[in-house]
Amino acid sequence: MRGGGSAPNPDVMTEEYTEGYKAKLVETKQAWARAGRLLTGKTGEHGVDRLPPGQRLVENWPILDLGIQPDVAPADWRLTIDGMVAQDLTWDWNSFLAHPQIEIVSDIHCVTQWSRYDNRWTGVSTRHLFEAADVAKDATHVLLASYDGYTTNLRLEDFLDEDCVLAHRHDGQAISREHGGPVRLVVPRYYFWKSPKWLKRITFSAEDKPGFWEERGYHNVGDPWLEQRYD
Ligand SMILES: Nc1nc2c(c(=O)[nH]1)N[C@H]1C(S)=C(S)[C@@H](COP(=O)(O)O)O[C@H]1N2
Ligand SMILES: [Mo]
């Protein structure tokens, strides 16, 4: 992948993936963000209202990507943990599975207005990873990068919510390629664009850095109950 381990920027992406990259779709979503499309102007209360404002429940599971679905075999998958850590770490598939596994049931809320209830995720908790990585006390943010060049950012405390999981199973089955297998991050409290598929790299930082959608008009935090769709 071009740019080695560094967080990919959008220009690199379009150059690198002239084939398959959905530039038109990205344009449309960006235009919606500029126009404030899909906003209801209502707010909900997290923990009280299960369905956030402007969302509708689906039974199926839509697939959203940038036109690229990396085919990463578990044997070739590596997760790099770097930035403000005592020492950079690389987890391969076996070392990832050797860490304590948790199971979490949570809801999905996508900014394009679909929500899906009761997803059972299996994997390593972000809290465990945080402890294992020996992160510096003054780290405040987490930058996430994926095998398709996608990036997103989170505040450290949001990354450390107790239901956040580096997941490799969904409802008892290996996460499929189109849904981000072998490993994706799941951050249920925020819109699903904050849950990167095909996870490749986690960087702890004392600075925030907008990711792919955050640079294109999406909200930096993305709380569905406050309808933080756009910036
Ligand atoms: N690597 C990567 N992760 C990603 C995306 C992406 O394009 N690439 N899309 C995001 C968006 S916008 C959504 S809504 C969800 C979709 O996940 P799903 O296809 O499993 O429903 O993944 C998020 N994580
Ligand atoms: Mo999305």
Each residue's pLDDT tens digit, 49-73: 999 999 999 999 999 999 999 999 9
The atom number, within ligand 1, closest to the CA of 62 reads: 21
- Whether 182 and 72 have beta carbons less than 8 Å apart is answered as yes
Is residue 149 in some structural domain? yes
Q: Please tell me the distance between residue 206's alpha carbon and the centre of ligand 2 in angstroms.
A: 26
Cβ of 182 less than 6 Å from ligand 1: no
Q: How far is CA 169 from each of CA 74, 93, 162, 195, rounded to the nearest angstrom?
A: 13, 13, 18, 14
Label residue 27 left, alpha or beta by phi (over 0 means left) and psi (-120 to 50 means alpha). alpha
Does residue 35 fall inside a structural domain? Answer: yes
Atom of ligand 1 nearest to the CA of 112: 14
Residue 17 pLDDT: 56
Q: Please identify, by atom number, the ligand 1 atom nearest to the C-alpha of residue 191.
A: 14
pLDDT at 18: 59
- The pLDDT score that the predictor gives to residue 20 is 77
Distance 56 CA to ligand 1 centre (A): 18
Q: Is 26 helix (H, G, I), strand (E, B) or coil?
A: helix
Tally of structural domains, the chain: 1
Q: Residue 15 domain-assigned? A: no
Tokens of 69: 């679905």
Provide the CATH number for the domain around residue 34.
Answer: 3.90.420.10
Domain that holds residue 132: 24-226
| 152 in a structural domain | yes
User: Does a structural domain hold residue 50?
Assistant: yes
Domain assignment present for residue 16? The answer is no
Q: How far is the CA of 110 from the centre of ligand 1 (A)?
A: 9
Ligand 1, atom 20: nearest CA belongs to which residue? 179
Has residue 4 been placed in a domain?
Answer: no
Mean per-residue pLDDT, 35-45: 94
Rama region for 108: left / alpha / beta (φ>0; ψ in -120 to 50; rest): beta
Instruction: Name the DSSP class of 65.
Output: -
Residue 12 lies in a domain: no
Per-residue pLDDT tens over the stretch 152-179: 999 999 999 999 999 999 999 999 999 9
